[in-house]
Amino acid sequence: MTIRVDFKKLLMRMLVGAGLLAIGAIALADASERNRPSGIKGTDDRTRVDIAKYPWRAIGRINRSGNFCTGVLVAEDEVLTAAHCFWNKRTNRWSQAQFFHFVVGYEKGKYAGAAKGVSYRTAFKSLPDLSNIKLEREDDWAVLKLDKPLGRKFGVVKIASGKGPEYLNQNLKNDVVFQAGYSRDYSHVLTVHKNCQITDFTKLRENSQPVFLHLCDATRGDSGSPIFVLSNGDYKLIGIHSATAQKTSGEVVGIAVPSRQFRSAVGDP
């Protein structure tokens, strides 16, 4: 299935952490225009879950200096999240891994396990200066290596093989899609949107790799949060949430990095 995008009609500004990066052809949803957080698409469908159960116990907060993103264990000592979580907008530089802590099973100030960052890798051979260039959505992923193998105790979420338009066409209608994260307005509890919808697999620019557009209720704090499917009793990660955007039609959408972009990077030395 080929999805065509009218780049003249589709304008985007991306929500990244606490600020904005202008990218491609979508416009940032203005939270001041609504009485709900940016990223809630229609009815707020987020619900609480039992964080002691799998796969929720493999999802946690990546904390640094009062700020946080969401991450998911994809190996015994590796957490997948969004790359922009490591960019410090105040200093205009990439932060060092040791300043980040991953807490799993986190709820209302208590957590089941914690580890410190050791290093992280991204889609880039050398980290770009984001004060001068745009962060492309399809590259907005990072793998944080931890100093403890938390995945041995809490489990890991399997990464699906590369998913594209054929998956949307043939399989997704038979699978249940979940997004789970620590939203900024519910920062101390994990919330899940069950049965959320992936609508498109499309390019944001003519020469870019395609990304997923979705209607999962992901807001600030959900950057890096997993989007996965339950198929035949098995949970598999198909992407991670990167940003919230608003089409000129007024429709709010989420942008997710597909698993085909980061699958080969997980487990690298």
**Can you give the CATH number for the domain in which 236 is found?**
2.40.10.10
Span 210-215, average pLDDT: 92
Beta strands at 158-159 and 234-246: parallel, antiparallel or unpaired: parallel
Rounded average pLDDT over 43-59: 95
Last residue of a domain, one of 121, 137, 154: 154
> Pick the residue with more confidence: 24 or 245?
245
Is the pLDDT at 68 greater than 80, yes or no?
yes
Rounded average pLDDT over 108-126: 96
- Residue 265: which region, alpha, beta or left (left: phi > 0; alpha: psi -120 to 50)? alpha
CA distance 241 to 3: 20
Q: Token digits for 12?
A: 């985007």
pLDDT value of position 72: 98
Q: What is the pLDDT of residues 228-268, one digit of tens each?
A: 998 888 899 999 999 998 877 888 899 999 998 998 888 75
Task: Answer whether residue 170 shows pLDDT above 60.
Answer: no
Residue 253 lies in a domain: yes
Position 7 in a domain:
no
Q: Which tokens sit at 25?
A: 């052809």
Q: Over 50: is that where the pLDDT of 55 sits?
A: yes
Q: How far apart are CA 142 and CA 126, in angstroms?
A: 13
Q: What is the domain range of residue 251?
A: 13-50+157-259
Q: Could you please report the per-residue DSSP string of 251-265?
A: -EEEEEEEGGGTGGG
Residue 70 lies in a domain: yes
- Plot region of 158 (φ>0 → left; ψ -120 to 50 → alpha; else → beta): beta
Residue partners of 46: CB distance under 8 A and separation at least 6: 183, 186, 191, 192, 193, 217
Q: What is the mean pLDDT of residues 88-108?
A: 96
Least confident of 8-12, 70-74, 81-85, 154-158: 8-12
Task: Indicate the pTM of the whole model.
Answer: 0.83
208 and 133 in a common domain: no
Say yes or no: 175 and 254 in one domain.
yes
Report the range of poorest mean pLDDT among 52-66, 137-151, 158-172, 218-232.
158-172
Q: Within a domain: residue 26? A: yes
Residues 242 and 163 in one domain: yes
- % residues pLDDT > 70 (the chain): 81
Q: How confident is the model at residue 238, as a pLDDT?
A: 92
Domain boundary among 97, 129, 154: 154
| Average per-residue pLDDT for the chain | 84
Q: In terms of domains, do 147 and 161 share one?
A: no
Listed residue (65, 66, 100) closest to 82, CA to CA: 100
The CA dihedral of 231, 233, 237, 240, to the nearest 10 degrees, is: 80
What secondary structure does DSSP assign to 170-202, as a single string?
Answer: HTGGGSEEEEEE--GGGTTS-EEEET--EEEEE
Q: In the predicted model, is pLDDT for residue 164 greater than 90?
A: no
Give the model's pLDDT for residue 267.
Answer: 73
Domain count, the chain: 2
In 3D, which of 14, 44, 67 has the Cα closest to residue 187? 67
**Mean pLDDT value of segment 187-195:** 96
Whether 243 and 138 have beta carbons less than 8 Å apart is answered as no
pLDDT of residue 202: 87
